[in-house]
Amino acid sequence: MALLEVKVPDIGDFQDVPVIEVLVKPGDTVEKEQSLVVLESDKATMEVPSTHAGTVKEVKVKVGDKVTMGVTIVMLETAASAAASAPAATAPAPAAAPAPATSASDINVSGAELAAVLASSPSKAAEVREVLASTLASLEADYHAEVLVLGSGPGGYTAAFRSADLGKKVVLVERYSTLGGVCLNVGCIPSKALLHTAKVITDAEDAAHHGVTFGEAKIDLDGVRKFKEGVVGKLTKGLASLAKARKVTVVTGKAQFTGARTLEVETSEGKKVVSFENCIIAAGSQSARIPGFPYDDPRLLDSTTALDLKDVPKRLLIIGGGIIGLEMATVYDALGSKVTVVEFMDRLIPAADPDIVKPLARRIEKRYEKILLNTKVAKLEAVANGLRATFESAKGGEAAPAPEIYDRVLLAVGRRPNGKAIAADKAGVNVDERGWIPVDNQMRTNVPHIYAIGDIVGEPMLAHKASHEGKLAAEVIAGMTHHVWEARTIPSVAYTDPEVAWMGLQEPEAKAKGIEYEKAMIPWAASGRAIGMAREEGATKILYEKGTRRILGAAIVGINAGELIAETVLALEMGADAEDIGLTIHAHPTLSETVYFNAEMVEGTITDLMPPKR
């Protein structure tokens, strides 16, 4: 018998991810790939599987602990003597980059010549077999693609359009009747349209402090929905036009793999088969669920149904204080709901630096009915006049709020990847227990001609990450084999009021890793532009490498923080230091000056505030 450690695998850029459920105890017998614990970032819940079969000897974590890649979860006694290996979620080693694909038309030889080629060159033989397999698959298919893209969200349509621009014959498969995937149809875009409406309402309310008073807002839900749908329609119609202009064939329906070269699509006209030479999986994710909730009750909403805006509930409970939950809280609060947010962790938006979440928390605490931290919903029951929520303390043993009844409940506890929903195993593609598809630094799966991008390959689940991955996959397929994923950071934004945005290294992570740094935090009370807008609650925080003062990370809270973060992302990618930013002239008066002030503060050259004592 051997005793081995099962550790947290690679979970992307996330650090200090909380454990929300422990699924095993000492003495339990577990199978390989059986889930041991459940983690929760602000965007998704993640189950960590066992690397081996065996008996649990000791559980090293408990609910509420925060873990990072490499932290030991359990001690496992196994019959094997091999050391623990990383779970299936770990990306495979990069495969040898393939040469530009040979097509069937490239093979024009007699049987004898072909036999000679196969006998003399094993590598050529493998290439010919690949071509023949693709050709045979295409004979019985309704469509054939040099590049098949499964999913038309920002990652998928980017991959399809870039492939077409590089001369490939492209088929794009999408389950929705319009292109754009979850993001454009029922996610990022419609939510931002509603957030804009919410901002107009709250700005009108705030104007009373400036000597301008408007009457109480009259909400025409049909009109609000029409505006939202108009925004979505403009963008999805634009994508359809771009697909047509690029001669991309669009097939609409739910799809699953039937082999390593074929995909079956359930269309309105029946089943259609698409064969392909290369494939890019961009199938995204779906809302995560908590077991035992009454999902057949229409009063229980998810991020999709909440956007339908069928009514404005008097009392709304939002389970999950991450980005999605707080954005929808912003919308419904402005429309008139009494909002309660319940969050398992000790603060809102756990992935963000606590310093920049505090100004948001202070503002919404005054507007919302309640914010319940360190709390979970243990039970949700359907009753005649609403949904009754029973609360428990996340710390255990502490008093919890009394049960309450809400008109609607929105579940916003993250998203789960769709890896298991597309029968990827029939194509030979590795999918781990949680639904992630591991890829290398060129987005290639374990099957050399199949690539994967976006939410389905790992955190962070962000559209802008997916679009860059899609472009990379398309270029590698087209023969640009020197291209690899090398982004130094990916920004995150919560489009709340005020907005919260961050990128790169955050201070809690720097402390945990023992990284030496310098920092500066500029209160927007020093910004003439912020004061003139009566929104000086914001702040701009930047971390710099000690000694060189190169930028390591940034976090901004305030109106339009999502726009302001871009300058710091570029600075990090370019290796800029505080002096570079401080010598760059920023327009006055602007909110972007707070980035400039921050650099001046750490350099000791600031005049708009007192410089730090040295």
Return binding residues for FAD: 192, 455, 461-464
In this structure, are strands 143-150 and 72-78 parallel, antiparallel, or unpaired?
unpaired
Q: Which residue has the tokens 């390593």?
A: 260
Q: Are 411 and 293 in contact (CB under 8 A)?
A: yes
Residue type, 602: V
How do beta strands 72-78 and 35-40 pair? unpaired
Question: What is d(CA 324, CA 328) in angstroms, rounded to the nearest whole number?
Answer: 6
Active site annotation includes 210: no
Q: Do you know the residue count of the chain?
A: 614
Round to whole Å and give the CA distance between 43 and 303. Answer: 12
Q: Which residues are annotated as a binding site for NAD(+)?
A: 320-327, 343, 414
323 by Cβ neighbours in 10 Å (0-12 / 13-18 / 19+) ranks as: buried
Cα–Cα distance between 533 and 522 in angstroms, integer?
17
d(CA 503, CA 506): 8
Q: How far apart are CA 422 and CA 442, in angstroms?
A: 21
Q: Which strand ranges, in their side-by-side order, compose the sheet holding 499-504? A: 492-494, 499-504, 551-558, 539-545, 517-523
Residue ranges of the binding site? 192, 320-327, 343, 414, 455, 461-464
- Would you call 174 helix, strand, or coil by DSSP? strand
Q: Which of 196, 468, 586, 588 is catalytic?
A: 588
Contact between 443 and 465 under an 8 Å Cβ cutoff? The reply is no
405-408: long-range contacts, CB 8 A cutoff, minimum separation 24: 405/315, 406/313, 406/315, 406/316, 406/317, 406/340, 407/299, 407/313, 407/314, 407/315, 407/316, 408/299, 408/300, 408/301, 408/313, 408/315, 408/316, 408/317
Residue for token pair 């995909």: 263
Whose CA is closest to 48, among 432, 431, 402?
A: 432
Residues 499, 229: Cα–Cα separation, whole Å: 24
For residue 498, is the peptide bond before it cis, meaning its omega torsion is within 30 degrees of 0?
A: yes
The catalytic site residues sit at 588
